[in-house]
Structure 1
């Protein structure tokens, strides 16, 4: 799985969101990983479960027909790849790739880039991605852009990455549009243009990309590159939260708590903070602990609050306001809470389960 990192300029833009200062991570807090997984579904084939191969020498075409049905036109190399027969897929795709088949070139590149059945070979993968990109394959263009951006298999060259993101975006790649939008916000390797950035990220959001929904929602709330629209901004962030993007869940919970762009709903705010806390986000753990300690939107539970505080502290986030709320907690209760945090998410032997969501 591959992640796309936010640019520093976007992080600064998002920092202006309406989050209570007391709950901000202190220096040393672990950053919440964010990104978009590589989508195997972008390959030009039907999607089938990837199962462990029972016989590496089995005929790939026969296997593919068994999965997809006899009436479906099946590509043997891609069918083998989907089934986990990577060496067979490479053997079938390589002659087509050498003959200039862009899709086969991308498949060969994927196998070498991820070390599927062969040793990982990023320089070789980048070469195949480059050939496929020259032949018009949008996935290859995007993957090659990432390699230049990260310096994987090729010398790091963000200017070249920007060119490739622009090319892939023009060819219709949703993640390329998102990345190009980030570059326009940063304004170093693409012209500084918040309007263009909002348009590109908005297109990616409309296509259902969670990271784009989250960022576009923030831009709508802040009026960055687009007319302010708090209601639609909150809706976009909510869509990203529903897709499981933890950072969006935290911000959506805050919008619900404040009633910004959505009707104020403490119960829903608690639910979203709890969901993000359970996913390991320290900011959510801290805020959920404060709500539990204060009994705001949820029944008060000092032991659970102290447990979540301990988990947030483990990641470097401290909060004097929360400490004050828990100042009078009995020593025995505090000891149980910290024991639960030690074993989280599994309850300690003979202990109690984690607090309900």
Structure 2
């Protein structure tokens, strides 16, 4: 025993200068970059997909009323990550975390009450929890509370406050909020009407890939409502939403292709998009008239392409075009961009 102590003491003496240098280096690093953030082993394991390891690491902290650990456990049970999905158990952990001030837990618990998932359905309780999370600064909760105020369900109707909350969520780059706030600006709901600003926010949501925003923004550009008229821009956004499978966009894109508005006329492409919209139950006599003089061969090819869309029909694959042939018109892929 004494020998071990002596050996340990000697080791400490030998390494003391190294410890001093390391400590001094850490002090200098902290003064430049700030203090180091302690490693969260439970969250790290969760991020890497080691859910049972994360659960084991989080439990001791959760028992000490660590809200973040409680929320992590709730997420594991809510989504069935490495364990059997158990909404009721998730709700219990979310409740504990919410009691300890975790805004994400309040929001997720509200969703459970909203849907009656693991707890009895209780819309009033859900609304109260959404308000709690919103007051704590959680952006999606602000959006939900704004919607409740607009609808006047389980919250006092208040368009002014709803518009203010919606703007906060929109400025935090939540696409649904950007779209709805833009619509409120266009309609003058709870805020002075401003078509130009409304178009701006709807455009931001379109850039983030929200299909409903892409369709409305395309229409705004087509009509020049609050912005300069831009037919090519309208084509771009209708094409993006059409390529995502939206029937309304497919129908409108087909019209522009058939009429040659903002894009080179292409009746075969128009026939394909019309067929895709029809497949979803959307028929349009005005589009039918535009395609009234289409060549039978082009009509057949367009409808065949629709049957195999988004893949290429086998007949066209077999008769592949030369390498220098022009690429057939397809909807552009619109990447979300930051404003």
* TM-score over 0.5 for the pair: yes
Cα distance between partner residues in 1 of 2:120 and 2:142:
23
Partner of 1:351: helix, strand, or coil?
Answer: helix
Cα distance between partner residues in 2 of 1:298 and 1:279:
19
The superposition leaves residues 157-202 of structure 1 with CA deviations (integer Å, 9 ceiling, x where unpaired) of 1111110011111000100000000000110210111111111111
Q: 1:348 aligns with which of 267, 292, 313?
A: 313
Q: 1:164 aligns with which of 123, 126, 129?
A: 129
Q: CA deviation at 1:135?
A: 0.4
Aligned length: 287
The structure with the largest helix share of the pair is 2
Q: CA deviation at 1:354?
A: 5.8
Task: Answer yes or no: is 1:152 the counterpart of 2:126.
Answer: no
Task: Answer yes or no: is 1:206 the counterpart of 2:180.
Answer: no
Over the aligned positions, Cα root-mean-square deviation in angstroms equals: 1.2
Match of 1:286 in 2: 251
Cα distance between partner residues in 2 of 1:342 and 1:116:
38
Q: 2:276 aligns with which of 286, 311, 316?
A: 311
Equivalence map 1:105-124=2 (5 Å): 105-124=70-89
* Max Rg structure: 2
Match of 1:51 in 2: none
Q: 2:99 aligns with which of 110, 115, 134?
A: 134
Q: 2:208 aligns with which of 243, 261, 264?
A: 243
TM-score by length of 2: 0.83
The answer on whether the counterparts of 1:347 and 1:354 sit within 8 Å (CA) in structure 2 is no
Equivalence map 1:18-33=2 (5 Å): none
Cα distance between partner residues in 1 of 2:281 and 2:96:
46
Cα distance between partner residues in 1 of 2:57 and 2:156:
43
More relative contact order in 1 or in 2 (CA 8 Å, sep 6+)?
1
The answer on whether the counterparts of 1:345 and 1:354 sit within 8 Å (CA) in structure 2 is no
The superposition leaves residues 299-328 of structure 1 with CA deviations (integer Å, 9 ceiling, x where unpaired) of 001110011111111112111111111122
Cα distance between partner residues in 2 of 1:110 and 1:252:
36
Cα distance between partner residues in 2 of 1:173 and 1:245:
21
Consecutive unaligned residues of structure 1, counting only runs of 5 or more, are 1-70
Cα distance between partner residues in 1 of 2:302 and 2:150:
43
Cα distance between partner residues in 2 of 1:100 and 1:347:
57
Match of 1:100 in 2: 65
TM-score by length of 1: 0.78
Consecutive unaligned residues of structure 2, counting only runs of 5 or more, are 1-35, 318-326, 333-339
The superposition leaves residues 282-301 of structure 1 with CA deviations (integer Å, 9 ceiling, x where unpaired) of 11111000000001110001
Task: Answer yes or no: is 1:256 the counterpart of 2:256.
Answer: no
The answer on whether the counterparts of 1:218 and 1:237 sit within 8 Å (CA) in structure 2 is yes
Match of 1:320 in 2: 285
Match of 1:298 in 2: 263
